[in-house]
Structure 1
Amino acid sequence: MTSCKEYFQNGFKVGPNYCKPAAPVAEHWIDYADARVISQPQNNWAWWSTFNDPILNELIQTASQQNLTLRQAGFRVMEARALDAYARGNLFPQSQTAFGGYQRNLLSEQVGFTGGGGGGLPGISREFSVWTLGTQFQWELDFWGQFRRSIEAADAQLDASIEDYDDVLVILIADVASAYVDVRTLEQRLRYARQNVESQSGSLRLAEDKQQAGVSSQLDVSQAVTNVSQTEATIPQFEADLRRAENRLCTLMGMPPQDIKAMLAGPGGIRPIPTAPAEVVLGIPADLVRRRPDVRRQERLVAQQSALIGVAEADLYPAFSITGQIFVRASQFQNLFLSSATGGNAGPTFSWNIFNYGRIRNLVAAEEARFMQQVSLYQQTVLDANREAEDAIVQFLQAQEQVRILRTGVAAAAQSRDLVNELYQGGQADFGRVFVAELFLVQQQDALAVSEGTVARSLVEINRALGGGWQIRLNGAPPMELPPVEEIQPEQVNGDGANVPTPVDPNAATDEADGDPALEPTPAIDLPEKFDGQSELPEVK
C-alpha cells in the first residue's frame, strides 16, 4: 500500500516510482593487461570498416535496408507507438457516445388513459412518434494515477521496442559479417585444396613414370593416388559449404538465394579472408550497460513492470467519475431542434470494489513478483553480456597466436615438401616421405585458413558482444575513404600460404551488382534515437 506521504511525493500516484536497478559489472576485462586490449571509449561505431573491405561495407548497408526480420522489428515499434497513444487517450473522457433513434408508438386501450375500453381522454391520441438525438459521456478521473502509470508503462514498452529494433540490427550486422568471413574462409580452403591436388597430381605422375621405368614399386603409385583422392574429396564439401554461406548472405539481405559470386568477387576476382587489426578497442565492462541494446531493452521492461504495480494498486481505491448526457427529443422531426426539445443530465459517481480486496491485493503482489523477475533478468542479461564479451576477447587473442604458429608451420611444411620432392626425384628418398610431407602440408594449410577466419569472426563476435553498429540507423552508411584493399590473384598464392598483395580500387567493388533488380535496396523504417512522447509514427515509404 502507498502511504499518504508517498502518494504526494509521487505526484498524486499510487505505486512505486521507478529507480534503475543496480547491475553487476566487472571493473576491468580479464585480459586488460594485454597490449592488444585497449580499454578506452570506442569512437568508431562502424566497426566493420576496420576490415577495410568495401564489399563487406556494401553488404552490411544493403542488409540494413532490406532485411525482413529487421522490418518486423520496425513494425513492432509502430505497434508500440499506437498502443502508447491509446494509453494517453485514457486521460480524457473514456466513453463518448452519440445516440439517436425514432420510435412510432401505439398505446393500448386497456391501460393508462385508455383503460377499460373507454377510448381515452378527449384530445389524446393513442398514436405518436418520438425522435431522439444526443450524446453521452463517462469520464473516470485519474485520481490515483492509474492512467498516468499506464502511460509510463506504455512509454517504457515503446522504448523497449526501439531497443529491440537496435538489438536486431546489431545481430544482423554481425551475422552478415560472420557469413562474409565464412565465404572468404571457404574460398581460401578451396584454393589450398585445389593447389595441393595439382601438386600431388604432379607427384603421382612422377611415381607412375618411375614405376614404369622399374625404379619404384606400385606402392609409390598407390600412396600418391591416396593423397590425391583424399585431398580432392574435400573440394565438394567445401563447395557445398560455400554455397550455403552465400545463400545465408542472400537471406540476410532480404532476397531469394541466388548466385552472388560476381558481386562478392569484386574487380580482382579473388579476395582474401578479412584481416583483423592486432589491437581491439573495448572501453570498459560498465559500457555494456550503456551500449548493448538488449541490456537497455531489458532495463526498459523493468521500468514498464514497475509502472504496472501502480496500475494494479489503483484498483484498491474508489474510482471517481463524471457522467452525463445531453439530448433533444420531440414527437415531430421539425420540432427536434427547438430549445424546448433539449434535455440532459450530469453528475459525479463513484465505484469501489470493497469486497474484492483479497483478489486485488494478490494481483498487486503478482505484479511485484513480476517486477522482481524482470530485475533479476536484467541483472542476468548484464552478466551474460560481460561473459559473451570476455569469451570473444580470449578467442580473438588466442586465435591470433594460433595463426602466428600455423604460418610458421605452413612455411616449414611447404619447404619440407619441396625438399623431399627433390630428393625423391633424384632417387635419394622413398615416396613414403613425400606422402607424409604432402599430407601434412594439406592439413596445416587448411588449419591456417580456418584460424585466419576464426580471428576475423572473433572480432565480429567482440563487436556483437559490445553492442556496436546499431547507430547505422541514425547515421546511415559511414562516410569514409577506404585505403586500397590488398587482393590475392590465383597465381600469387605461394605454397607456404604467403600472399603477394596487389592494390585495387575499393570504389569499384560493387560495379558488378549495379542494375540487378534483386539487389536494389527496399525502403527502410526510420526510427528516432529515443521516443520523446511527441514523435510521429515511423514512416513506411
Structure 2
Amino acid sequence: MINSGRYPASHSASRQISRGSRLVSLSLLLLPLSGFTGCNVGPKYLRPVVPAPPAFKELGTQQAADGSTWKPAQPQDGALRGKWWEIYQEPELNALEDNLNVSNQNIAQSYDNFTAARAQVQQARSNYYPTIRVGASYSRNRSSQSQGAASSLSSANPNSNVFDLPFDVSWEPDLWGRVRNTVHQFSRAAQVSAADLENVKLTEQANLAVFYFQLRGQDALEDLYQKTVEVDQKALDLTRVRYKSGLDNDEAVAQAEIALESATAAATNAEIARAQYEHAIALLVGEPASTFSVPVRALTTQAPDIPVGVPSELLERRPDIAAAERTMAEANALIGVQKASYYPTLNITGTAGFEASKFSKWTASPSRYWSVGPTASESIFDGGLRKSTMTQYTALYNADVAGYKQTVLVAFQQTEDSLASLRLLTRQIEQQEETVASAQRYFDVAAARYTTGLDPYLNVFTAQATLLANQQTMITLRMQQMTSSVQLVEALGGGWNMNQLPSEHEVAAKRP
C-alpha cells in the first residue's frame, strides 16, 4: 500500500500507509520466492529415440560409367557453416543472399511471430506472482428519514460521505506445477517458433540460390540460341546464294529458314523464363520486380564438394526436425497443465486500505482496515471434462511423436534423393559431353560436305538440330546439377545446428 499522492496527508499517516503497503505487498511477493515449491504432477519429457542408419546409402562406393568407382568427396573442414552459399564462389549470389536475410518479408513475418511467442512466455511467467490492484472511490449517501429509530438517529444529518482506498492482493501458489508446466509449454512453443524462423530462412535462401542458377542457365541457353541464330543466318545466306546460282533448290532454302526461325523462337522462350526467374528473385530479396534486374551472364559455376556427414547428425542440423522435437516437448508440458486440474487449488487473497466518512480523516490510523485468508477448492464432478481433455492432450502428444519421426524420415529421404541426383547427374554430364562432341563432329562434316556440294542441305539441317538438342540437354543437366547441389545443402540443414536454438531460459528472458 502506498500513498496515492493525490491528496495531502500527515507525515504519520504517510508512514503508516507506506509501512502497511510494504507489509502486504512484500509478504505476498516473497511467497513464490521464499523457496516454496509444490509438486509437479506432469509427465517427465524424454526425447523419443529414432534409429538412424550408420551411413547414407548414396555415400557408398558407386560404379561409374567407365567402370571406375565413384564416391563423393569429403572436404577437410567437415561441415557447412554460416553463409553456406559462399561455397559456390558467386559474388552476385552472395550479395543477393545478404540482401535476402535483411529484406525478405517471409523472414520478417516469422521473426515477428517468434517475438510474439516470447511475449507469451512472459505472460505465463506472470502467474508466478501475486496480482495487486488499487482503486480509490468516493460516494455520497443519504439515509431514509421514514424508519422510526433510524429516522431519529439520522435526523440531524441524513447525508454521509464514504472515502475508500482499498488495496486487493490475490495469489494462487503453484502447488501442482500448473504454472511451471504452462511456462514450459509457452517456452517450448517459442523454441518451435525460433526453429520455424530458421527453417524459413533456409528455405528462402535455398530458393534464391536455385532461382539464381536457373536464371544463369537461361542466360546460357540464350547465348547458345544466339550463336545458333548466327550460324543459321549464315547458312541461310549461303543457301539462297546457291539457290540463285542453280546449285540448290527451294526446299533447301525452306529448311534453312525453318532452322533460323526455330532458333529465334527458342531464344525468345528462354527470355521469358529468365524474366520470370528474375522476378522471383526480386520477390525473395524484398524488391519490386519492376525496378529489379540481374546482369546477364551464362552459367559457368561448377557444383562444389559438399560435406555430408552421417545420418544421425541430421537430428541436430535441420531446423524442421528441431521444431518437430520442440513441438513434442510443448505437448508434453500441456499434459502436465491438464493433470494439475485433478488436484485442489489454493488461492490466498488479502485486502487492506482506508475508509472514512470525512476527507480529513481518510488516511488517519483509525480508518485502516484489512483482511486476509486462503481459499481451497476442488472439482468433484465435471461430467468427464478433465478425463476427456487429458485423453485429447495425450493423443495430440502421440500425434506429435509420429510427426517428429516422419520429419526425420523425410530428412533421410531428401538427403538420399539429392545425393543420388548429384551422383547420377555427374555421370550423365560426362556422357552428355561425349554426345555433344560427337554431334559437333557430325555437324562439322555435314556442313563441309554441303559447302562442297557433296550432300544436300537436309543433312546439315538434321545435324544442326541434333547438335542444338544435345547442347540444350547439356545446359539443362548443369542447371539440374546446381539445383541438386543446393537441395543437398538444404537437406543437410544449411550449416545450422541445434546449439543455435535458444534455450527455454533464453526465450523466457526479458529483452532489453
The TM-score range, normalised by the shorter chain, is 0.7 to 0.9
Are the counterparts in 2 of residues 273 and 453 from structure 1 also a CA contact under 8 Å?
A: no
| Cα separation, 2, equivalents of 1:57 and 1:184 | 15
- Match for residue 7 of structure 2? none
Are the counterparts in 2 of residues 298 and 378 from structure 1 also a CA contact under 8 Å?
A: yes
Instruction: Tell me which amino acid in the other structure corresponds to 1:159.
Output: Q
Instruction: Tell me which amino acid in the other structure corresponds to 2:42.
Output: G
Are the counterparts in 2 of residues 23 and 378 from structure 1 also a CA contact under 8 Å?
A: no
**How far did 1:427 drift?**
0.5
**How far did 1:535 drift?**
6.7
- Match for residue 90 of structure 1? 127
- Of 213, 219, 231, the residue aligned with 1:181 is 213
Are the counterparts in 2 of residues 39 and 284 from structure 1 also a CA contact under 8 Å?
A: no
Alignment of 1:108-507 (within 5 A): 108-111=144-147, 113-114=149-150, 119-121=151-153, 125-258=157-290, 260-261=292-293, 264-265=294-295, 270-277=297-304, 279-356=305-382, 358-470=384-496
| Cα separation, 1, equivalents of 2:114 and 2:72 | 37
- Match for residue 16 of structure 2? none
| Cα separation, 2, equivalents of 1:113 and 1:72 | 72
**How far did 1:39 drift?**
6.4
Are the counterparts in 2 of residues 250 and 257 from structure 1 also a CA contact under 8 Å?
A: yes
Cα displacement string for residues 411-442 of structure 1 (whole angstroms, at most 9, x for unaligned residues): 22122212211110101111111010111111
**Distance verdict in 2 for CA 1:260–1:126, change over 3 Å:** closer
Instruction: Tell me which amino acid in the other structure corresponds to 1:423.
Output: R
Deviates more, 1:150-159 or 1:38-47: 38-47
Q: Which protein is richer in helix relative to its size?
A: 2
Cα displacement string for residues 153-187 of structure 1 (whole angstroms, at most 9, x for unaligned residues): 11111111111111111111101100100110000
- Match for residue 57 of structure 2? 30
Provide the secondary structure at the position in 2 that maps to 1:12: coil
**Distance verdict in 2 for CA 1:537–1:427, change over 3 Å:** farther
Are the counterparts in 2 of residues 170 and 469 from structure 1 also a CA contact under 8 Å?
A: no
| Cα separation, 2, equivalents of 1:173 and 1:11 | 47
Determine whether 1:20 maps to 2:85.
Answer: no
**Distance verdict in 2 for CA 1:234–1:259, change over 3 Å:** farther
Instruction: Tell me which amino acid in the other structure corresponds to 1:205.
Output: D
Instruction: Normalising by structure 1, report the TM-score.
Output: 0.82
Provide the secondary structure at the position in 1 that maps to 2:355: strand
Are the counterparts in 2 of residues 134 and 326 from structure 1 also a CA contact under 8 Å?
A: yes
| Cα separation, 1, equivalents of 2:248 and 2:115 | 77
Instruction: Tell me which amino acid in the other structure corresponds to 1:272.
Output: L
Provide the secondary structure at the position in 2 that maps to 1:343: strand
**Distance verdict in 2 for CA 1:29–1:75, change over 3 Å:** same
Deviates more, 1:530-539 or 1:251-260: 530-539
Are the counterparts in 2 of residues 173 and 469 from structure 1 also a CA contact under 8 Å?
A: no
| Cα separation, 2, equivalents of 1:529 and 1:316 | 33
Instruction: Tell me which amino acid in the other structure corresponds to 1:173.
Output: Q
| Cα separation, 2, equivalents of 1:260 and 1:434 | 42
**Distance verdict in 2 for CA 1:221–1:122, change over 3 Å:** closer
| Cα separation, 1, equivalents of 2:243 and 2:321 | 69
**How far did 1:37 drift?**
2.5
Identity of aligned residues (%): 26
Provide the secondary structure at the position in 1 that maps to 2:288: coil
Are the counterparts in 2 of residues 135 and 325 from structure 1 also a CA contact under 8 Å?
A: yes
| Cα separation, 1, equivalents of 2:134 and 2:346 | 23
Are the counterparts in 1 of residues 418 and 487 from structure 2 also a CA contact under 8 Å?
A: yes
| Cα separation, 1, equivalents of 2:389 and 2:508 | 34
Are the counterparts in 2 of residues 170 and 468 from structure 1 also a CA contact under 8 Å?
A: yes
RMSD: 2.1
Are the counterparts in 2 of residues 194 and 235 from structure 1 also a CA contact under 8 Å?
A: yes
Deviates more, 1:197-206 or 1:174-183: 197-206
Are the counterparts in 2 of residues 413 and 441 from structure 1 also a CA contact under 8 Å?
A: yes
| Cα separation, 2, equivalents of 1:529 and 1:177 | 27
Cα displacement string for residues 303-355 of structure 1 (whole angstroms, at most 9, x for unaligned residues): 00000001011111110111111111000111110010000110010111111
Cα displacement string for residues 114-134 of structure 1 (whole angstroms, at most 9, x for unaligned residues): 3xxxx4137753111101011
**How far did 1:223 drift?**
1.0
| Cα separation, 2, equivalents of 1:23 and 1:75 | 32
**Distance verdict in 2 for CA 1:231–1:122, change over 3 Å:** closer
Determine whether 1:75 maps to 2:116.
Answer: no
**Distance verdict in 2 for CA 1:363–1:55, change over 3 Å:** same
Are the counterparts in 2 of residues 167 and 470 from structure 1 also a CA contact under 8 Å?
A: no
